[in-house]
Structure 1
Amino acid sequence: MALWDRFKESAQTMQTQLNAKKNDLKSGAFRDASMAMCALVAAADGSVDPSERQRVASLIATNEVLQNFQADDLQRRFNDYVNKLTADFAFGKVSVLQEIGKVQKKPGEARAVIQIGIVIGGADGDFDKTEQGVVREACFAVGIDPSEFDL
């Protein structure tokens, strides 16, 4: 099986797992960490062009797990995190990783945030090394071994 096919299958499996946990993923910390993760993956290369921002916003709006929250609230939070990252990537990344780290004490939420990052990263058909790198950093922020997700 080609690497992309394995990845696509893995992303679909993760989305299925997320959907199964949907009722457990309603906290404000999960919401904020998820949007921080989406922004981090979108800005992994240090910038976010308008089409990429729109694509991620669309994925957020249609993700079944994130439908526990108001779409306009999610969009506002995502944009706030993206703005932090694009203003000063290094400084913004520290802030965003701290936000992601707030779910560390809830392993189910922490894993779900990482899974969302992987799903978002692979949505364009290419979960590149830069995106994998920021998701790996997020794993450390929530106390999960990145190898659990083949990162």
Structure 2
Amino acid sequence: MALWDRLKESASTTQTQLIARKNDLKSGAFRDSSMAMCALVAAADGTVDPAERQRVARLIATNEVLQNFRADDLRRRFENNLDKLAADFDFGKVSVMQEIAKAKKKPAEARAVVQIGIVIGGADGDFDKDEQAVVREACYALDLPPHEFDL
């Protein structure tokens, strides 16, 4: 199977797993952590590309799992995290990682946050090395082993 096909299949499987747990993913910590993860993946290469910002914002708005929350609230949280990363990527990343770490008290939510990062990273068909690296770092912030997610 080609890498592209495996990536699409993996993202699809991950999304299916998230949907199955949708009713368990309603906490404020999950909301905050997942929006921080989305911003981190969108800016994984150290820059915030306007096209990437729009693409991820659309994915957030249409993601079934995130429909437990108001779309305008999610967008505001996503944009705030992106603005921190755009202003100073290294300093902003510290703040964003603290947001991501909010979910570590509940392992199911922590895993879901990582899975959202994988879905967002793979949505364009190219879960690149920068995106994989920031999701791997998020695993450490959430006390999860990266190998559990093939990272």
User: TM range, normalised to the smaller chain?
Assistant: over 0.9
1:48 CA drift (Å): 1.3
Aligned counterparts of 1:125 and 1:4: Cα–Cα separation in 2: 6
The gaps in structure 2 that reach 5 residues or longer are none
1:136 is displaced (CA, Å) by 0.1
Task: Tell me the equivalent position of 2:47.
Answer: 47
Equivalent positions of 1:79-94 (< 5 A) are 79-94=79-94
**Equivalent residue runs for 1:58-77 within 5 Å:** 58-77=58-77
Checking the alignment, whether the CA contact within 8 Å between 2:7 and 2:125 is kept in structure 1 is: no
| Deviation of the 1:106 alpha carbon | 0.2
Match of 2:30 in 1: 30
**Counterpart mapping for 1:126-137 below 5 A:** 126-137=126-137
User: Aligned with 2:11: secondary structure?
Assistant: helix
Can you list the C-alpha shifts for 1:1-26, whole angstroms capped at 9, x where unaligned? 11221111111000000000000000
In structure 1, the residue matched to 2:4 is 4
The structure 1 segments of at least 4 consecutive aligned residues displaced by more than 2 Å after TM superposition are none
SS in structure 2 at match of 1:33: helix
In the aligned structure 2, how far is the partner of 1:42 from the partner of 1:52?
Answer: 6
* Two-structure CA RMSD over aligned residues (Å): 0.6
Q: What number of residue pairs does the alignment pair up?
A: 151
The residue type equivalent to 2:21 in the other structure is K
Residue type of the alignment partner of 1:106: K
Q: Aligned AA for 1:61? A: A
- SS of equivalent residue, structure 1 residue 119: helix
Q: Secondary structure at the match of 1:102?
A: helix
Instruction: Give the residue type in structure 2 aligned to 1:104.
Output: K
**Cα offset for 1:102?**
1.1
**Secondary structure at 2:44 match in 1:** coil
Find the counterpart in structure 2 of residue 113 from structure 1: 113
In structure 1, what residue type is equivalent to 2:62? T
Per-residue deviation at 1:133? 0.1
Q: 2:67 & 2:36 partners in 1: Cα distance?
A: 16
Distance 1:49 1:136 in 2: 21
Tell me the percent identity: 79
